Amino acid sequence: MTREQAYKLLTDHVKGQNLIRHCLAVEAVMKALAKNFNEDEDKWGNAGLLHDADWETTTETPERHTLELMDWLEDFDLEDDDALKQAILAHNHFHNGHEPPKTNFEWSLFCCDELTGLIVACALVQPDKKLESVTKESVLRKFPEKSFAGGVDREQIQLCEEHIGIELPEFIAIALEAMQAISDQLGL
């Protein structure tokens, strides 16, 4: 599946600009993590880009989130991309009954999904609301603050240390740099 096909599938099904931006952010971070692990950047990027493509159609049925997308993916030749499907399915395992993440790929998507939200929140409290004003240190300072971006699951992010072997400060640095590189697309 090409990036163009993935992007078209996403934008065919997602109307909300913030959700598209979230998917672009997760794509960028997943590509950076793939590079870090010497894995397939395009495949990891596509998993990030697509992971929430059925979010708007499953808002009333969270247990269907990712399963609708699996149906749509049937139209594509994804024989070699089982890992991509597994990563997408595992990111919603709390609701869809799938197994929790197991591989580096699956854990990477699961952990960075929430981190992108924390980084966006950190940008929005900067005087200029820009990602370029956010530092790794400022994200780390906000990390334990429960009153800040309360919807962001810190535990889910911190599992990076146990499951993909990247310490939290490094994980934040990788994600922040990847998001800063596409700040114009993120509108931040």
The secondary structure of 21-67 as a DSSP string is HHHHHHHHHHHHHHHHHT--HHHHHHHHHHTTTTTGGGTT-GGGTTH
Nearer to Fe ion, 120 or 173 (CB): 120
For residue 16, which phi and psi values (nearest 5 degrees)?
Answer: -70, 125
Q: Which is nearer to Fe ion, 39 or 113 (CB)?
A: 113
C-beta closer to Fe ion: residue 30 or 164: 30
How far is it, in rounded angstroms, from Cα 84 to Cα 105? Answer: 8
Task: Give me the residue label for tokens 């992007």.
Answer: 7
Among 52, 53, 152, 173, binds Fe ion (CB under 5 A): 52
Provide the total of helices (H) and of strands (E) in the chain, helices listed first: 11, 0
Told to check if 114 binds Fe ion by CB under 5 A, we report no
Task: Give residue 66's identity as a one-letter amino acid code.
Answer: T
Q: Which of 113, 115, 159, 175 binds Fe ion (CB under 5 A)?
A: 113
Please choose, out of 42-50, 51-59, 99-107, 144-152, the segment that lies near Fe ion by the rule CB under 5 A: 51-59
Nearest CB to Fe ion, comparing residues 132 and 139: 139
Please report, as ranges, the residues that interact with Fe ion according to CB under 5 A.
Answer: 52, 113
